[in-house]
Amino acid sequence: MDVEKFSVNPYENLFIYYLEGIPDRIPEGFDGLGFIGNWCEEDSSFLFFSQAVDREVAAFVDGDQRLTLVDSFQMSCEQWHGEVIESYTTGSLCISPPWKIPFVNKPGIRHILLDPGVVFGTGRHPTTEACLVYMETLFSTREIKTVLDIGTGTGLLALGAAALGCERVLALDFNLLAVKTTLNNVSINHFETEILCIQARAEDYIETPADLVVANIHYDVMKDLITTPGFLAKPWFILSGLLRSEARKVIDSLKGAGVTILETTCPDGVWTTIFGKGVS
């Protein structure tokens, strides 16, 4: 995707269709109707368009007995994300939407273009910012050549690793729309040789060798992941997306496994991020 095409926010107005059921395929004709993507969540789907397509979606649902149109919504992109999408700087990283690139002329600033689409993860959540801060701290003192990014979402942490000098990043997400969003962001940042993004479950790739594993994911997935030999053998780890009560359980589990907790942070009093060193 060419950055030049982003003169304005392409997701300014969202038309969302909430379906019960998961479509086997999306009609090719939707591409000419402003189709943005399909977010699947358990047994439900959300079809996103940049214009109203009530009649076309109704016909699509009527043609598949496994689908039911539950509701439809119209909102702005910022309402959907729950925050203003704008440029910001954390450490040496300047993260900007492609349609609002600032002029930042400061020594050492690394620019990342982030097109979040309709996937959650603009980077302003405390868990994401904390991960980026710990990553930069680690990269400034250690040689980190390989990173495993679990639950990549929009791909920001993978992009951050590449921008900080990582040679190879494996970014995983089980949600297909998240993978497509990350692949787009890899492309517009020209990190195709540094980042590989695939649709996969974390447990199937946790054994992959890496200098650092970053996981900003739900506790229900993390609690089992951190007990595996593949995780414990990683030299460094950053874990986030944890409520304080969940973080205490994770820390207890990690200490029992012999890893070293270097630091934790909970800047907003709600979400906790853990930075540590593996047993290897």
Alpha-carbon separation of residue 111 from 3, 4, 98, 168, 194 (angstroms): 13, 16, 11, 18, 16
Structure confidence by residue, pLDDT tens digits, 50-102: 999 999 999 999 999 999 999 999 999 889 988 888 899 999 999 999 988 87
Distance, CA of 257 to chain centre: 28
The order of strands in the sheet holding 44-49 is 35-41, 44-49, 13-20, 68-76
User: What is the rounded CA–CA span in Å between residue 259 and residue 234?
Assistant: 10
Alpha-carbon separation of residue 169 from 163, 210, 238, 254 (angstroms): 11, 9, 15, 24
Give the per-residue pLDDT at 222: 97
Q: Give the count of beta carbons closer than 10 Å to the beta carbon of residue 129.
A: 22
Residue 105 contacts by C-beta under 8 Å, 6 or more apart in sequence? Answer: none
The answer to whether 113 and 189 have CB atoms below 8 angstroms apart is yes
Q: Which segment of 5-14, 31-40, 173-182 scores lowest on mean pLDDT?
A: 5-14
Tell me the fold of 91-277.
Answer: Rossmann fold (3.40.50)
Structure confidence by residue, pLDDT tens digits, 137-170: 999 999 999 999 999 999 999 999 999 999 999 9
> Where do the domains of the chain lie?
3-81, 91-277
Residue matched to tokens 């791909």: 155
Residue 2's pLDDT band, with cuts at 50, 70 and 90, is very low
What is the percent of the chain with per-residue pLDDT over 90, rounded to a whole number?
A: 84
